[in-house]
Structure 1
Amino acid sequence: MSKDLDRVRDQWETLAKSDPFWAVLTETEYHDGQARKDFFDSGRTDVRRLLEVLDRHGKSYGDVAVDFGCGVGRLTYALAEQCKHVTGVDVSRSMIEQAQAGNPFPDRVAFVHNEAATLPFDDDSVDLVISVITLQHIRPALSLRYLLEMARITKPGGHLVFQLPSHVPATRPMPPSLSKAQLHVLEAPTSLEVGESGYVRVGVKNISHGEWLPGQLLNAGNHWRLHGAMFVQDDGREPVRCPLRPGESTEVLIRVMAPSEPGSYELEVDLVQETVAWWAERDSATARVPVEVRAKAPVTAAPVDEAPAAPVVAKTTGDELEMNGVRKDLVYALFEQIGCTVLEATPDERAGGHWLSYVYAIEVGEYRIDINHGI
């Protein structure tokens, strides 16, 4: 269990220090801390949609709420407009520090850094727990434990509202006639240091005669070529938003990492249906841009009377955030077993087009299992 927590913590610490807004919402407009107002406005929209689930069942939000996996406070701040006291909890200390620094409700909102498999709240101490785009990055053994913890800290009659993917449905290979795309690199770095991360924004247009349907494991990915030859076959991957009809376009922002050796490279972007084929193999055109990869600059000690310059771009660990799901029937069985009621499970698209994902609304009952102290 501790290894799973360590992995999650380290990955989110890296993302928090390099590009926290984009790490929370991987949309082009939030890259490099852009569109701050829009970013937090999106939290209001998401919280309204989450709470509408309780509205449909005539349920109260209560006064005391917890935002599990709060990041920089996108949902926490918005939830404070609906509840009297809100606490944001996150495994990343850097995320918590940024959330605290920008807290517009210091009298009603608190943030807690938590690296434990338990939650730092007493039994029956909160009315509402929400969680969005967090549990999907935690392995099932640990996410199930957190779900039990959420039930433990919630008062009988209180509620959990959380998003969690179920599974990736079986896919069928897309026929070659549909594997036709027009790719255009809209933005890319011209130079990177060895091992440095950057972003490539790609326009994707469906130029086939058929619709690209959701759930087909369709990604945009990049290779690195040196003197025309393949140097790195697999680097970044990001889902292509589907459905996409013939003639329609979308954009994808791919996080890439420079190769391990300096040189004059071409960064090549292609589409891939995972486990089936790269589309270049089906005569669909790729897109290439030149990128100069520099040797790492020597590390020199800063003069005593000068502070060292802040790094311009953070380095990644090379690990990608993994996606995980818990089958819908298991989520139902878990809460029914501990005396809670599943009010509804609404289909949701936050996990991307490949996953079947749901927003669950749970009413907490009297009978629960405390996984730390028994029944």
Structure 2
Amino acid sequence: MSKELDRVRDAWETLGTSDPYWAVLTEHEFHDGQAKTRFFDSGRAEIRSLLDILDKFRRPYGDTAVDFGCGVGRLSFALAEHFENVTGVDVARSMIEEARASNPFPDRVRFVHNDAATLPFDDDSVDLVISVITLQHIRPALTLRYLLEMARIVRPGGHLLFQIPSHIPAVRPIPPWHSKAELRVLEAPSSLEVGENSYIRVGVTNLSDGEWPRGQLLNAGNHWRRNGLMVIQDDGRDSVRCPLRPGEQTEALIRVKAPTEPGSYELEVDVVQESVAWWADRGSQPVQVPVEVRSPAAAPAGDDSAPEAAPAAPATIGAMEMHGVRKDLVCSLFEQIGCTVLEAAPDERAGSDWASYLYAIEVGEYRVDVNHGV
């Protein structure tokens, strides 16, 4: 479990350091800390939709809430408009620091860095735990442990509201005669330092005479070529929003990482149906842009303050891991420990490729302490 936590922490520290707002909501307008007002407004709408579930079942909110996987505080700040005490918990210290720096409710909201498989709260000490678009990035064994921890810290009669993908429905290969796309570069870097992360924004149009259906693992991805030869086969990915009918278009924002050797490269973007085919192999036309990859800038001559060695390039973060836990397993887990599954409603937070559910759980008296048994 320690190695798994290390992987999760390291990945999200990298994301939190490089682009924390985009890492929470992977939309173009949020990268580099843009559109913060809309970012936090989306948190208010999210919390309202979650609390509407408790209203539907005529359940009280209570006074104390925990936001598991709080990131930069998008949902924590929104919870403060409904609860007296809110604690945001995240595995990435960089995210926590950003949340603390922008906290508009210091009297009601606190943030806690936690990279343990347990949660830093006493038994029966909070009224509500929420978690959305977080558990989907954690492997199932650790997710199940965290779910038990959430049940442990909630008072009997309190609630858990969380989202987890269940599974990917069986992929049906899109036929070659429907694997035709027009790709247009809308935004791209012309020059990067070795190992530097950046974005390429691409328009994608369905040029075929058939619909691209949902749930078929259709992505836009990039390669790096040099003098026409493949240098890096797989780099970043972004999903192609489907269904997409003939002639319809969408956009993809791919996070890319420059090669580690300086030189002149072609950044190539193609469409791929994962585990099926890259569409260039089926006759669809990829798109390329030239990118000059340069060595790190040298310090000015005579500058004695320059570091002795250049820092290591950040880890590749073009795509985030996605994991699911089957719906029947989640429901059985809580039923076995005396909790009530009020609702397990389909939702789309995990994207079109996944069957995902939003759960409302009412915590009972009988629960399992994952550290000490029943």
Does residue 351 (structure 1) correspond to residue 346 (structure 2)? The answer is no
After superposition, the C-alpha distances for 1:19-75 in whole angstroms (9 at most, x for unaligned) are: 000001100110111101011111111111111222221111111000000000000
Residue 298 of structure 1: CA displacement?
4.8
Call closer, same or farther: CA 1:300–1:15 in 2, change over 3 Å.
Answer: farther
Match of 1:335 in 2: 334
Q: Judge conservation of contact 1:128–1:159 (CA < 8 Å) in 2.
A: yes
User: How far apart, in 2, do the equivalents of 1:158 and 1:146 lie?
Assistant: 17
Change (3 A) 1:366 1:300: farther
What's the secondary structure of 2:325's corresponding residue? coil
* Alignment length (residue pairs): 371
Preserved CA contact (<8 Å) 1:221 1:237: yes
Question: Do 1:164 and 1:326's aligned partners in 2 also have CA atoms closer than 8 Å?
Answer: yes
Paired AA for residue 317 in structure 1? A
2:344 is paired with a residue whose SS is strand
Question: Which residue of the partner structure matches residue 317 of structure 1?
Answer: 315
Please state how far the C-alpha of 1:177 moved relative to its aligned partner.
2.0
C-alpha distance after superposition, 1:280-317 (max 9, x if no partner): 1111111111100112345799957x798xx9x99431
Give 1:217's aligned residue: 217
- Does residue 114 of structure 2 align to residue 114 of structure 1? yes
Quick one: which amino acid aligns to residue 99 of structure 1? Answer: A
Equivalent pair of 1:18/1:315 in contact (CA under 8 Å): no
Q: In structure 2, the residue corresponding to 1:208 is in which secondary structure?
A: coil
Q: Report the counterpart of residue 372 of structure 2 in structure 1.
A: 373
Asked if 1:24 is matched to 2:15, the reply is no
Aligned residues of 1:17 and 1:314 also touching (Cα < 8 A): no
**Aligned partners of 1:75, 1:150: CA distance in 2, in Å?**
17
Query: % of aligned pairs identical?
Result: 72
Q: Distance in 1 between matches of 2:306 and 2:339?
A: 55
| C-alpha separation in 1, matches of 2:201 and 2:87 | 35
Q: Which amino acid in the other structure matches residue 192 of structure 2?
A: L
C-alpha distance in structure 2 between counterparts of 1:194 and 1:363, whole Å: 51
| 1:232 corresponds to | 232
Q: Is the 8 A contact 1:61 1:127 kept in 2?
A: yes
CA distance in 1, matches of 2:96, 2:364: 31
Aligned counterpart, 1:91? 91
Q: Secondary structure at the match of 1:143?
A: helix
Question: Are the structure 2 counterparts of residues 121 and 228 from structure 1 closer, same or farther at C-alpha, using a change threshold of 3 Å?
Answer: same
Alignment-mate amino acid for residue 116 of structure 1? A
**Quick one: distance in 1 between partners of 2:181 and 2:351?**
20
Q: Unmatched 5+ residue regions in structure 1? A: none
Structure 2 residue aligned with 1:192: 192
Residue equivalent to 2:171? 171
Aligned mates of 1:146, 1:299 — CA distance in 2: 47
The SS at the match of 1:40 is helix
The answer on whether the counterparts of 1:197 and 1:314 sit within 8 Å (CA) in structure 2 is no
- Secondary structure of the residue that 1:242 maps to in structure 2? coil
What do the CA deviations read for 1:250-276 (whole angstroms, capped 9, x no partner)?
Answer: 111101111122111111100000111
Contact 2:179/2:279 (8 A) holds in 1: yes
For residue 41 of structure 1, give the secondary structure of its aligned residue in structure 2.
Answer: helix
Corresponding residue of 1:160: 160
Unaligned runs of 5+ in 2: none
| Offset from partner CA, 1:138-183 (integer Å, 9 cap, x none) | 1111110000000000011100000101111111100112211111
2:103 and 2:340 map into 1 onto residues whose CA distance is 34
Which residue number corresponds to residue 149 of structure 2? Answer: 149
Supply the AA of the counterpart residue of 1:266.
Answer: E
8 Å contact kept, 2:299–2:306: no
SS of structure 1 residue aligned to 2:170: coil
Could you state the TM-score of these two structures normalised by the residue count of structure 1? 0.95
